Amino acid sequence: MSQIEISTSLAIYKSNSQNARVLTENFVAHHGFCPSCGSSLLQTPNNSQAKDFTCSKCDEEFELKAKSSKIGKKIVNGAYDSLFNRVIGQNNLNLYALHYNKREMVVENLLIVPRYFFVTDLIEKRPPLSANARRAGWVGCNILISKVPEIGKIFYIKDRKIINPNNILQEWKKTSFLQEAKSLESRGWLLDTLNCVERIGQDEFNLDQIYAFEAELKQKHPENNHIKDKLRQQLQFLRDKGLIEFIGRGQYRKIPNG
């Protein structure tokens, strides 16, 4: 069996969705590992709310969302209030997103979004269930994974290619400083700035290109009257953390991965 093939030996349920959940969880349990310390993962009991895995060594916890279609811009999640409260409490789980080929039963993509990339902007509230539904009034949510900076999507498998474990550990370490942010707001500003840098789409960029996002960020942060100053502050912080470098006269360069 190849390292991207999903074993179907545990497909013993009548429900296709239940089989898919068991098979994909089994795959991650056997092929995944903690991106923080490299240790193996332990599956949690079936009644564990949201949490699917824990690291066998450190305190990291993980949730898995798997689908047979491309991961796309959003991932369906559970209750809105539950996820929202976890995020504002800064105690969210790390998210595994798995895309598999249903016909061949192989994993196309497996990535992880570290918990410290989650801010409230990523949570989209879904309409409440209708009065005729079994759980009438229940409100679910989507995770807007398209709003996660690319540096926050750490691949284990990408287009059926297995990524070197050392690269995964390095990518985690590269952004782990985000968990040190004193507040959700300060972390949100760093993520906003990272997204601006990525949206420019060039390895080298200048302050004027960053300032082009001023109006958009002002709308998002109406209480801040010094957007340009804030952006310069965030760029300096990202420079100090080794994600970008200052090359002079308002010019910056992204530091390549690895």
β-strand partners of 75? 143
In a domain, 219, yes or no: yes
In a domain, 235, yes or no: yes
Least reliable range by pLDDT among 120-124, 154-158, 248-252, 254-258:
254-258
Please check whether residue 138 is in contact with residue 128, taking contact to mean a CB–CB distance below 8 angstroms.
yes
- Among the candidates 119, 134, 163, a domain finishes at 163
Percent of the chain with pLDDT over 90: 85
**41/146 same-domain check:** yes
In a domain, 70, yes or no: yes
**134/195 same-domain check:** no
**85/210 same-domain check:** no
**111/75 same-domain check:** yes
**106/29 same-domain check:** yes
**Sequence-ordered list of residues with C-beta below 8 angstroms from that of 255, at least 6 positions apart, any chain:** 242, 243, 244, 245
Residue 45's pLDDT is 85
DSSP codes of every residue in 214-247: HHHHHHH-TT-S-HHHHHHHHHHHHHHTTSEEEE
In a domain, 2, yes or no: no
Report the number of distinct structural domains present in the chain. Answer: 2
Categorize the per-residue pLDDT at 256 as very low, low, confident or very high, splitting at 50, 70 and 90: confident
Q: Could you list the residue range(s) of the whole structural domain that residue 235 is in?
A: 184-254
Q: Is the pTM of this model over 0.95?
A: no
Token pair belonging to 38: 């490299």
CATH number, domain with residue 227: 1.10.10.10
**191/147 same-domain check:** no
**117/20 same-domain check:** yes
In a domain, 227, yes or no: yes
Q: What is the pLDDT of residues 43-83, one digit of tens each?
A: 998 766 789 999 999 989 999 999 999 999 999 999 999 99
**48/140 same-domain check:** yes
Residue 85's pLDDT is 94
**67/125 same-domain check:** yes
Token pair belonging to 172: 């985690």
Q: What is the pLDDT of residues 216-228, one digit of tens each?
A: 999 999 999 999 9
Please check whether residue 100 is in contact with residue 19, taking contact to mean a CB–CB distance below 8 angstroms.
no
**156/190 same-domain check:** no
Q: Which helix (H) or strand (E) holds 33?
A: none
What whole-number distance in Å separates Cα of residue 252 and Cα of residue 204?
Answer: 6
How far from 49 is each of 53, 83, 128, CA to CA, in Å?
Answer: 11, 11, 20
Mean pLDDT along residues 29-43: 96
Q: What is the pLDDT of residues 178-195, one digit of tens each?
A: 999 889 999 999 999 999
Categorize the per-residue pLDDT at 28 as very low, low, confident or very high, splitting at 50, 70 and 90: very high
In a domain, 7, yes or no: no
**68/194 same-domain check:** no
In a domain, 37, yes or no: yes
Q: Which residue has the tokens 């400083």?
A: 177
Mean pLDDT along residues 146-170: 96
**32/79 same-domain check:** yes
In a domain, 5, yes or no: no
Least reliable range by pLDDT among 45-49, 67-71, 146-150, 154-158:
45-49
Categorize the per-residue pLDDT at 175 as very low, low, confident or very high, splitting at 50, 70 and 90: very high
Percent of the chain with pLDDT over 70: 98
β-strand partners of 162? 157
Indicate whether 2 pLDDT > 80: no
Residue 257's pLDDT is 67
- Among the candidates 128, 163, 198, a domain finishes at 163
What whole-number distance in Å separates Cα of residue 192 and Cα of residue 187?
Answer: 9
CATH number, domain with residue 100: 3.40.210.30
Indicate whether 258 pLDDT > 60: no
- Among the candidates 133, 163, 193, a domain finishes at 163
